[in-house]
Amino acid sequence: MNAPTHPIRVLLVEDDEDVRLGAAQALDLAGFEVQAFGAVEPARAAITEGVPAVVVCDVQLPGQSGLGWQAELRRADPQLPVILVTGHGDIAMAVQAMRDGAYDFIEKPYASDRLVAVVRRAAEQRRLALEVESLRRELDDWSGIKATLIGRSAAMERVRQAVRTLAATPADVVIYGETGTGKDLVARCLHERSSRRGGHFVPVNCGGLPENLVDSELFGHEAGAFTGAVKRRIGKFEHAHGGTLFLDEIESMPMAVQVKLLRALQERTIERVGSNQQVSVDCRVIAASKVDLREASEQGRFRADLYYRLGVAFIELPPLRERREDIPLLFEHFTLQAAKRYCQPAPVPDTQALSALLGHAWPGNVRELRNVADRYVLGLLGDSFSDALGGGQRGVSLPEHMEQIERTLLIEALRRLHGDVPQAAKELGIAKATLYDKLKRLGIDAAGYRREE
For the chain, 453 residues long, give each residue's pLDDT as a single digit of tens: 444 455 899 999 999 999 999 999 999 999 999 999 999 999 998 898 789 999 999 988 998 988 889 989 988 888 899 999 987 666 777 778 888 888 998 988 899 999 999 999 999 999 888 877 776 665 555 556 777 888 888 889 899 999 989 998 999 999 999 999 999 999 999 999 899 999 999 999 988 887 778 888 899 999 988 888 889 999 999 999 999 999 999 999 988 889 989 999 999 999 998 998 999 999 999 999 999 999 999 999 999 999 999 988 999 999 998 898 889 889 988 999 999 999 999 888 877 788 788 888 899 999 999 999 999 999 988 766 777 776 544 445 557 667 777 887 888 788 778 888 998 888 888 898 899 988 988 888 888 777 544
Tell me the pairing of strands 279-280 and 269-270. antiparallel
CA angle (218 as vertex; 215, 223 as ends), nearest 5: 65
What's at 1, amino acid-wise?
M
What's at 346, amino acid-wise?
A
Contacts of 267 (CB under 8 A, 6+ apart): none
Does domain 321-449 sit in CATH 2.30.130.10? no
pLDDT value, residue 391: 52
**DSSP secondary structure letters along 10-70:** EEEE-S-HHHHHHHHHHHHHTT--EEEESSHHHHGGG--TT-SEEEEEESS-SSS-HHHHH
End-to-end, the C-alpha distance of the chain in Å comes to: 4
For residue 317, give the DSSP letter. Answer: P
**CA 178/CA 186 separation, integer angstroms:** 13
- Homologous superfamily of 9-140 in CATH? Response regulator (3.40.50.2300)
pLDDT value, residue 4: 45
**CA 400/CA 405 separation, integer angstroms:** 9
What's at 322, amino acid-wise?
E
CATH of domain 146-318: 3.40.50.300
Q: Which residue, 332, 394, 340, 390, is CA-closest to 382?
A: 390
pLDDT value, residue 248: 96
Domain edges within the chain: 9-140, 146-318, 321-449
pLDDT value, residue 256: 85
For residue 321, give the DSSP letter. Answer: G
Q: In degrees rounded to 5, what are phi and psi of residue 287?
A: -110, 150
3-class SS of residue 294? helix
pLDDT value, residue 288: 97
Domain 321-449 in the same topology as domain 9-140: no
Over the Cα atoms of the chain, what is R_g? 30
**DSSP secondary structure letters along 203-239:** EEEGGGS-GGGHHHHHH-B-TTSSTT--S-B--HHHH
